[in-house]
Amino acid sequence: MDDPRKPGDSAATADPRENHGAAATADPRENAELSATVDAGAFAMLGPVHPDERRPHDEIQEAVLDVSYAGRGNRRRWAPYVFISTPVGVLLTFFAGPLAVLAVYSFQVRSRGGDGSFTLDNYRAAVQPNILEVAGSTFVLATISMLILLVLAYPLAYFIALKVGRWEIPLLLALALSDELNPLIRIFGWRTILARNGLVNTVLQNLGITQAPLDWLLFTRFSVVLVLTASWMPYAVIPLYAAMKTIDRRVLEAASDLGAGWFTTFRTVILPLTATGFVATMVIVFIPIVSDFATPGLVGGTSGRMLASVIEDLFTRRGEWGVGSALTFLLLIVSGVVVYLSYRIARIRNLDTST
pLDDT score, position 129: 93
Does a structural domain hold residue 267? yes
Per-residue model confidence (pLDDT) at position 7: 45
Q: Does a structural domain hold residue 176? A: yes
Q: What is the pLDDT of residue 224?
A: 95
Q: 194: domain range?
A: 127-348
**pLDDT under 70: residue ranges of the chain:** 1-75, 112-114, 346-355
Domain harbouring 291, CATH code: 1.10.3720.10
Residue 325 lies in a domain: yes
pLDDT digits 0-9 by tens, 12-25: 444 444 444 444 44
The rounded distance, in Å, linking the Cα atoms of 355 and 349 is 12
Residue 24 is assigned to a structural domain of this protein: no
- Whether residue 336 is contained in a domain is answered as yes
The CA-CA-CA angle for residues 242, 147, 241, to 5°, reads 10
Output the 3-class SS for the chain: CCCCCCHHHCCCCCCHHHHHHHHHCCCHHHHHHHHHHHHHHHHHHHCCCCHHHCCHHHHHHHHHHHHHHHHHHHHHHHHHHHHHHHHHHHHHHHHHHHHHHHHHHCCECCCCCCCCCECCHHHHHHCCHHHHHHHHHHHHHHHHHHHHHHHHHHHHHHHHHHCCHHHHHHHHHHHHHCCCCCHHHHHHHHHHHHCCCCHHHHHHHHCCCCCCCCHHHCCCHHHHHHHHHHHCHHHHHHHHHHHHCCCCHHHHHHHHHCCCCHHHHHHHHHHHHCHHHHHHHHHHHHHHHHCCCHHHHHHHCCCCCCHHHHHHHHHHCCCCHHHHHHHHHHHHHHHHHHHHHHHHHHHHCCCCCCC
For residue 5, tell me if it sits in a domain: no
Q: What is the pLDDT of residue 28?
A: 47
Q: What sign for the dihedral angle of Cα 310, 313, 318, 323?
A: positive
Is residue 84 domain-resident? no
In this structure, is the dihedral angle defined by the CA atoms of residues 235, 236, 239 and 242, taken in order, positive or negative?
negative
Q: Give, in degrees to the nearest 5, the angle at Cα 238 between 233 and 239.
A: 110
Describe the crossing of helices 233-244 and 168-177 by its angle, rounded to 10 degrees: 150
Name the domain count of the chain: 1
- Torsion angle (degrees, nearest 10) of CA 162, 168, 172, 177: -150
Residues in Cβ contact with 191 at an 8 Å cutoff, skipping those fewer than 6 apart? 198, 218, 298, 299
Q: Is residue 35 part of a domain?
A: no
- pTM given for the model: 0.72
